[in-house]
Chain A
Amino acid sequence: MEIKLRPYQLSDVDDFMEWACDDQVIRTSRLRYYTSREDALDYLKEVAIPHPWYRAICLEDRPIGFICVKPGSDHQICRGQISYALGSKYWNKGITTVAVKLVISSVFEEFPDMERLEGFVNVEIKASQRVLEKAGFQKEGVLRKYVIVHGKTIDVIMYSCLKTDQTN
């Protein structure tokens, strides 16, 4: 089972919609709905493709999810924020953990000022917490009522992986 990361192309829109319009994915993530194929194409064109670091998680070269790192600027240039989602039919196979490890192995070289890769996860989504834990992130604490998701403020767990945490 070979997992690779690559940038999205407009021609990926149908594979993109397969996971991005998956109710289980939306329910357990911070992602929004796409109302149409045009809406999804606009997202790929305006957000995913120009993004500083946005990749398709690919199984046999077909996109089954996404993973991205948003680098900070100014006083936050030392940190980047990771986020990800995977189509529900591929859950529980360790795929997202592999994708996160691939990110860790390259993102600190690509962003030389980045010393901290952080991710925050809804306290109620244990599977996503396990992804970061298995990939070697450290849990730093619970941030209460941190962000609004689907109209509700949620508590999140903040995780981080430092460039200096790499022992390999």
Chain B
Amino acid sequence: MEGGGNEFTGEITLRPLELSDIDDFMVWATDEKVTRFCSWEPYTNKEDAINFINTKVIPHPWFRAICLNGQPIGAISVTKNSGNDKCRGELGYVLGSNYWGRGIATKAVKQVANTIFVEWPHLERLEAIVDVENPGSQRVLEKAGFQREGILRKYMLLKGKTRDLVMFSLLSSDPKS
């Protein structure tokens, strides 16, 4: 969660996540504080995590590890759509809970915003949906310059409950923050 005025001590970079990152991946992926608003449950074993990296991460159109001084501490991704939906992509991110409150996720989101529209010229809208009960993640997007568009009621079924979600967007034509 973002908050406080703490500056992180170190450089934030994004790079592809690899199988060799599995131990770092397990740090955030097994943490139920991190997965609280995710569609998935915390990982309980390395085999499932390896399977996830092989089947979902490596073939993903845009998936990056969020690294602090070169070490993965979270992940950020953008989905790709086709046909008449190709103008939009959905942003998602997770960060190890030890690193919350230092502006790291905001920095990672800004880095994605500064590169994705260049890498994908067909993309005009980067959107993100955040649980109404997750103000920390809402603040990440607001600080990164996203616009709040509205609350989508009972939009998704996550962990057995229908959730109200806030829709945010950043356009390729929006001013850079």
Contact = CB atoms under 8 A, between A and B. Distances in A.
Interface in A29-81: 30, 75-79
B84 A149 contact: yes
B150 A141 contact: yes
A162 interface: yes
B88 A145 contact: yes
Interface residues of B, number: 25
A78 B153 contact: no
Nearest to A79: B155
A144 B152 contact: no
Contact of A141 (B125, B149, B162): B149
Contacts of A79: 154-156
A147 B87 contact: yes
Contact of B157 (A75, A118, A146, A153): A75
A115 B88 contact: no
B158 A75 contact: yes
A138 B164 CA distance: 14
Interface string B77-90: 00000011111100
Chain A contact patch, size range: 20 to 34
B84 A144 contact: no
Main secondary structure of the interface of B (DSSP, over half): strand
A1 interface: no
Interface string B91-127: 0000000000000000000000000000000001101
B26 interface: no
Contacts of B158: 75
Nearest to B147: A144
Contacts of B83: 148
B162 A145 contact: no
A158 B153 CA distance: 11
A61 B71 CA distance: 67
Interface of B: 39, 83-88, 124-125, 127, 147, 149-158, 162, 167, 169, 171
22 contacts: A78-B154, A78-B155, A78-B156, A78-B157, A79-B154, A79-B156, A113-B157, A115-B162, A116-B154, A116-B155, A143-B149, A143-B150, A143-B169, A147-B85, A147-B88, A148-B83, A148-B84, A148-B85, A148-B86, A158-B150, A160-B152, A162-B153
Interface of A: 30, 75-79, 113, 115-116, 118, 138, 140-149, 153, 158, 160, 162
Given A146-B88, A148-B85, A160-B154, 14 more contacts: A75-B158, A138-B153, A142-B149, A142-B150, A143-B150, A144-B147, A145-B87, A145-B124, A145-B169, A145-B171, A146-B125, A147-B87, A158-B152, A162-B154
* Closest CB pairs A-B (n = 9): A141-B150, A141-B149, A140-B150, A148-B84, A116-B154, A145-B125, A145-B124, A153-B87, A78-B157
